Amino acid sequence: MSDRLSVQNSESNPAILSHRQILYVVSGLLMGIFLIAMEQTVVATSVRVIADDLGDYTEQAWVTTAYLVTSTIVTPLYGKVSDIFGRKPCYLFAISLFMLGSLACACATSMYELAAFRAVQGIGAGGLGVLAFTILGEIVAPRERARYQGYFLAVFTGSSVLGPVIGGLFANAQSIAGITGWRWVFLINVPFGLAALAVVVKVLDIQHLRREGVRLDWIGGVLLTIALGPMLVVAEFGQVWGWGSVPAVACFVVFGVGLLAFLWTERRMGANALLPLHIFRNPRFSQGTVLAFILGALMIGTFSLLPQYFQVVLGAEPTHAGVLLLPMIAGTIVGALVSGQVISRTGGYRVHSLVSAVVTVASMFLMYVLSGTENQWALLPVTFALGAGIGCFNQPITLVMQNILPARDLGISTAAATFFRQIGGTVGVAVFLALWFALTPSAMAGQVGSAIRQPAFRQELAQTAKGVADPAARQLVASLNSGNTDAAQNVVHNTSVLQALPDSVSYPLRQAFADSMSTVFLVATAFAVAGLVVMVLWKSVPLRAKAGAQEAAKERAAAKG
């Protein structure tokens, strides 16, 4: 049997691949998923060292934001372009651009250069995720597709764990093979990318029938960039700038104007639009995008919140916080794999999706209940259940949305699911963290004000003042000793002070963070309840019996009469 796989023998007779053949293709796609998942966390771990070396720590946030903005915006563009020109050339372009951006990042000499090169890298990364799921939909029938999607989600989650470890190793190394350690954060992508490129070139041959008379909506792509770019930027920087500041308001205005112009253009373009508006008239599809948005907010928002909670409230070191996050990561992997097996064996998804939604709501509410506990072990089963619920809940979304629209629009439907999940994740992180930081100062005033009235706490302060070495901690203790409780609110901007204080003094400060975090968990529970409601209202969609390429051929034959 040849290693080079033909997905389609002819326009009207697409080939059916064996499990072994599918695994050949999936192996290349998984390498791309591994790269984009690891890239986000590996850079987050090493960006402080990178910024120090390039000499501009204040600009480090742009390195993350540039990647986020471009990778999100190009998602629907890849879906539409791949529907027109084919999956394989678009995938090869995306992975080549990702490698080129990675190589350029490794050669950056300033933070501005690095941010620009990260934007290029993001344009490639945006295609790798959506096209992996689209290609899978092209070659595998929906019932079996869930098994392989489980592998994708497992690799995505698992590589997110490896990212911080690898980033830390490279960042801490002065040099490797004569090259500064942090530059290997980007160079390591090149051999992995070349391997993925070789596998896809060798084993994937999807014969695509180009649609005649279809125009590419470049204007819509530009307007979408104008609209979403400032919105994603303000989501990242709004807490720093202030939500009512001039830069934030300007971003909101540009978003509003850009969105209206985008919708007007999409209406004029009709079926050729980047995101054809008629697909949103389908209530099942619209409900699916809402569900993808909510799940993105829950999944990405929770993964961002919990490490902060473990370190600030429970006092865990960064490495220990990573260990405490492992149960949730394991739960997410288990949930995704179990969901894939259930769909593959039964052909149904609704019952276990509803159960997983209930588990997500219950475990998120338990996080709210237990947010003030100091018992780390009590939290671990809850975080595992939360991960399992989200992983199982999240698994069918892309699969179902691929079955709502015709098979010829497989790229659009997959891109829409990915796009709204990413937007939801960005909004979720911004809302949860902004709410936490907004509530903490008042909670800090209440907790510290109550503690300062206790003689035992004042005695602890007096003893601590004699031995604390950290300057910021010493200044805080002196202010509290003089009765200035407002000084405690500065801890919101410098949480490292908590590590320098004894537990007896830091307890009310940590408790203030816990109080505000409990409200955030309650809001996250409301998000989960909204997801459950949407899932209950989302009418079941029958899964197609054939792979996307076969269904598309069937649709073309029917259209010809």
Confirm whether 326 is domain-assigned. Answer: yes
Domain count, the chain: 4
Residue 534 burial (CB count, 10 A)? 18
Of 144, 141, 211, 85, residue with least CA distance to 548: 141
Confirm whether 264 is domain-assigned. Answer: yes
Q: Is 2 exposed, middle or buried (0-12, 13-18, 19+ CB in 10 A)?
A: exposed
Confirm whether 425 is domain-assigned. Answer: yes
- Pairing between strand 5-6 and 204-205? parallel
Burial 83-99 (b: 16+ CB within 10 A, else e): bebbbbebbbbbbebbb
Last residue of a domain, one of 170, 195, 211: 211
Q: Once rounded to an integer, what is the mean pLDDT over residues 543-549?
A: 62
Last residue of a domain, one of 192, 211, 230: 211
From CA 302, how far away is CA 328, in angstroms rounded?
10
Q: Are residues 298 and 359 in the same domain?
A: yes
Q: Is 3 exposed, middle or buried (0-12, 13-18, 19+ CB in 10 A)?
A: exposed
Q: Are residues 68 and 34 in the same domain?
A: yes
Residue 24: what pLDDT?
79
Q: In the structure, what pLDDT confidence band is assigned to residue 5 with cuts at 50, 70 and 90?
A: very low
Q: Are residues 25 and 96 in the same domain?
A: yes
pLDDT single digits (tens) 354-410: 999 999 999 999 999 988 777 778 888 999 999 999 888 877 888 888 888 777 777
Residue 361: what pLDDT?
95
pLDDT at position 22 over 50: yes
CA atoms within 13 A on the CB side of 99: 15
Q: Once rounded to an integer, what is the mean pLDDT over residues 203-218?
A: 64
pLDDT at position 220 over 70: yes
Q: Are residues 253 and 283 in the same domain?
A: no
Pick the range with the lowest mean pLDDT from 10-14, 480-484, 545-549: 10-14
Confirm whether 436 is domain-assigned. Answer: no
Q: In the structure, what pLDDT confidence band is assigned to residue 543 with cuts at 50, 70 and 90?
A: confident
Residue 6: what pLDDT?
44
Q: Which residue has the tokens 């009207």?
A: 12
3-class DSSP assignment, residue 179: strand
DSSP character string of 28-86:
HHHHHHHHHHHHHHHHHHHHHHHHHHHT-GGGHHHHHHHHHHHHHHHHHHHHHHHHHH-
Q: Are residues 536 and 547 in the same domain?
A: yes
pLDDT at position 500 over 80: no
Q: Once rounded to an integer, what is the mean pLDDT over residues 187-214?
A: 75
Q: Are residues 507 and 518 in the same domain?
A: no
CATH number at 106 reads: 1.20.1250.20
pLDDT at position 10 over 70: no
Burial 145-167 (b: 16+ CB within 10 A, else e): bbbbbbbbbbbbbbbbbebbebb
From CA 65, how far away is CA 227, in angstroms rounded?
15
Confirm whether 361 is domain-assigned. Answer: yes
DSSP character string of 476-493:
HHHHHHTT-GGGGGGGGT
Residue 103: what pLDDT?
94
Q: Are residues 392 and 366 in the same domain?
A: yes
Tokens found for residue 57:
């720590």
Average pLDDT over the chain, rounded to an integer: 80
Q: What is the reported pTM? A: 0.80
Of 50-59, 88-97, 132-141, 216-225, give the range with the top mean pLDDT. 88-97
Share of the chain above pLDDT 70, in %: 85
Q: Are residues 312 and 357 in the same domain?
A: yes
The letter for the amino acid at 2 is S
Q: Are residues 478 and 524 in the same domain?
A: no
More confident residue, 485 or 519: 519
Share of the chain above pLDDT 90, in %: 15
Q: Once rounded to an integer, what is the mean pLDDT over residues 137-151?
A: 76
Q: Once rounded to an integer, what is the mean pLDDT over residues 196-211?
A: 72
From CA 501, how far away is CA 507, in angstroms rounded?
9
Q: In the structure, what pLDDT confidence band is assigned to residue 4 with cuts at 50, 70 and 90?
A: very low
Q: Are residues 256 and 351 in the same domain?
A: no
Q: Are residues 342 and 352 in the same domain?
A: yes
pLDDT at position 536 over 60: yes
From CA 273, how far away is CA 216, in angstroms rounded?
8
Of 218-232, 254-268, 338-352, 408-422, give the range with the top mean pLDDT. 254-268
pLDDT at position 8 over 50: no
pLDDT at position 110 over 80: yes
Last residue of a domain, one of 273, 288, 317: 273
pLDDT single digits (tens) 33-43: 888 888 877 77
Q: Once rounded to an integer, what is the mean pLDDT over residues 457-477?
A: 72
Residue 98: what pLDDT?
94
Q: Are residues 424 and 408 in the same domain?
A: yes
pLDDT at position 135 over 90: no
Confirm whether 62 is domain-assigned. Answer: yes
pLDDT at position 319 over 50: yes
From CA 26, how far away is CA 32, in angstroms rounded?
10
Full domain range(s) for residue 253? 218-273
